[in-house]
Amino acid sequence: MTAPFTADRRKPLPNGFLAQVQALVGDRLHLGESIRLQHGSSETHFDPVLPDAVVFARSTEEVAELVKLCVAAEVPIVAFGAGTSLEGNVTPVRGGISLDLSEMDAILEINAEDFDCTVQAGVRREQLNEHLRDQGLFFPIDPGANATIGGMASTRASGTNAVRYGTMREAVLSLRVVMPDGRIVRTARRARKSAAGYDLTRLIIGAEGTLGIVTEITLRLHGIPEAISAAVCPFDTLKGAVDTVVQAIQLGVPIARIEILDDMQMKACNAYSKLDYAEQTTLLFEFHGSERSVAEQVETLSALSSANGGGEFRWSNLPEERSRLWKARHMAYYAALGLRPGSIGWTTDVCVPISRLAECIGETKADLEGASMPATIVGHVGDGNFHVVFAIDPASPHEMAEVEAINHRLVARALAMDGTCTGEHGIGLGKRDALVDELGDAVDLMRTIKRALDPKNLFNPDKIFVLE
């Protein structure tokens, strides 16, 4: 598998450091190999790298004290949420402390009238939505995994709802952050907008824990829509599917979700979940709004789909039937791996201007035809963002190299279309070279900011870029 680090950069912990940490957190300091392995492993293809210790934090103040100890002893510290990131974003490549925030899972405040709430970083997406349901509110960002809100902020997560509700960039009003000097700052107030100074909130969102450790997040919420409908429609051609989406957006239809699944993915879903979808490029839709608005949206999309070579447009507003229609999407990742028992996943993502999406997916599918392993495509088509999931043999260095080459070509293709090397997974370890290809000198500015805020390079070192 990919060797993500330079082993000689790992330094032994200074004498007495662990005793100091233990004095601070007691039995929430863990040194056992299995828990360290769990915090050093990735859900995808990255080699595990064990932290020296795992600490479960209980409060922002405790995190700040721990950071001060780490800085004094020059020990790296990597914040860890649910461990669901996909580009090795939390692998502690220089060892040190893996700081697990999952026990900081309190929902601190809900302001229903203001459509906002404040939560600790370890709160999970599904937990939050269950808690909000009774108040008629929901938090729309849905990256698939039941990630922590802190992790989602740190990777600038988005997912299926982004076409209507935006990404974590738009969803976060304010953060409480422990900085590399141990100071606790709040980046903004609870107002829905502000022109007060530099946008520290957005600087920390997507910084993957390299500039600060997010401990509390104030989020924008939305009212649960009066009506929800789902629909599914197969298409003769990729272009027909993408054109349907472009036209819908041009008409200003406020679709909540539009997902594209390619023929391979539909085949995988049928096999995995014993379904009978047409094994063609397929669009899945979800519509939110008033009864009248949702009915109008369904009508418009049904007509557009039909005009663009769509097959049967199946839709429903009944919760159970909606789930059935979307089942292919929910199971997509495991269904893809199911194409090859024993495989592990390598999943990558790019995002391009929507006018180039059909071309980008088309060329990528052509490239995948020669691949040794099964690969499927799933995308958030309203944003121009799509994923390729490779089911690779974990024992084969040859396959790793092959996927690396395909991924490199995919990123180059997206950049040539003025797209980005990652729409939502982040840079982590896997896309560091791609970031330089994408932004050139701007990466130096990132390095300058990192050096200014974390001069000892202790906060999640070697992620996004290597400093020295």
- Footprint of its own copies on 133-152 (CB under 8 A): 136
Longest dimension (CA), the chain: 71
**Out of 234, 374, 426, 461, the residue judged to bind its own copies by CB under 8 A:** 426
Give just the sign of the alpha carbon dihedral 358, 359, 361, 363.
positive
**Out of 90, 373, 427, 429, the residue judged to bind its own copies by CB under 8 A:** 427
Q: Establish if 280 lies at the interface with its own copies (CB under 8 A).
A: no
> Which neighbouring-strand residues pair with 349?
387
Residues 6 or more apart whose Cβ sits within 8 Å of residue 27: none
Question: How many residues sit close enough to its own copies to count as binding (CB under 8 A)?
Answer: 95
* Local structure of 453: helix, strand or coil: helix
Nearer to its own copies (CB atom), residue 102 or residue 158: 158
> Which residues in the 331-390 window bind its own copies by CB under 8 A?
351-355, 383-385
Nearer to its own copies (CB atom), residue 99 or residue 207: 207
Q: Report, in Å, the least distance between residue 195 CB and its own copies.
A: 4
Nearer to its own copies (CB atom), residue 111 or residue 323: 111
Q: Going by DSSP bridges, is the β-strand pair 213-220/314-316 parallel, antiparallel, or unpaired?
A: unpaired
Short-list 366, 377, 439, 466, CA closest to 409: 366
Short-list 379, 402, 408, CA closest to 390: 402
Which token pair is 421?
């090397």
Binding segment toward its own copies, per CB under 8 A, in 10-18, 320-328, 369-377, 434-442: 434-442
Q: Establish if 226 lies at the interface with its own copies (CB under 8 A).
A: yes
Q: Establish if 431 lies at the interface with its own copies (CB under 8 A).
A: yes
Q: Is 366 exposed, middle or buried (CB count within 10 Å of its CB: 0-12, 13-18, 19+)?
A: exposed
Nearer to its own copies (CB atom), residue 211 or residue 373: 211
**Out of 125, 425, 430, 462, the residue judged to bind its own copies by CB under 8 A:** 425
For Cα atoms 281, 287, 288, give the angle at the middle one, nearest 5 degrees.
Answer: 155
Nearer to its own copies (CB atom), residue 288 or residue 327: 288
> Which residues in the 296-315 window bind its own copies by CB under 8 A?
296
Q: Establish if 99 lies at the interface with its own copies (CB under 8 A).
A: no
Tally of CA atoms within 13 A in the half-sphere of 146 that contains its CB = 8
Which token pair is 208?
């993957």
**Out of 249, 275, 371, 466, the residue judged to bind its own copies by CB under 8 A:** 249
Residues 6 or more apart whose Cβ sits within 8 Å of residue 378: 259, 260, 261, 262, 265, 329, 332, 386, 387, 389
Binding segment toward its own copies, per CB under 8 A, in 90-98, 243-251, 272-280, 402-410: 243-251
Nearer to its own copies (CB atom), residue 12 or residue 252: 252
Q: Establish if 195 lies at the interface with its own copies (CB under 8 A).
A: yes
Nearer to its own copies (CB atom), residue 225 or residue 374: 225
CA-to-CA distance for 232 and 326, rounded, in angstroms? 8
Within a 10 A sphere around the Cβ of 74, how many other Cβ atoms? 14
**Out of 16, 26, 252, 341, the residue judged to bind its own copies by CB under 8 A:** 252
Q: Establish if 289 lies at the interface with its own copies (CB under 8 A).
A: yes
Q: Report, in Å, the least distance between residue 305 CB and its own copies.
A: 18
CA-to-CA distance for 217 and 311, rounded, in angstroms? 43
CA-to-CA distance for 359 and 103, rounded, in angstroms? 45
Nearer to its own copies (CB atom), residue 157 or residue 368: 157
Binding segment toward its own copies, per CB under 8 A, in 233-241, 248-256, 363-371, 396-404: 248-256
> Which residues in the 437-466 window bind its own copies by CB under 8 A?
438-446, 448-449, 451-453, 464-465
> Which residues in the 33-62 window bind its own copies by CB under 8 A?
none
310, 234 contact by CB (below 8 A): yes
Q: Establish if 191 lies at the interface with its own copies (CB under 8 A).
A: yes
Q: Establish if 403 lies at the interface with its own copies (CB under 8 A).
A: no
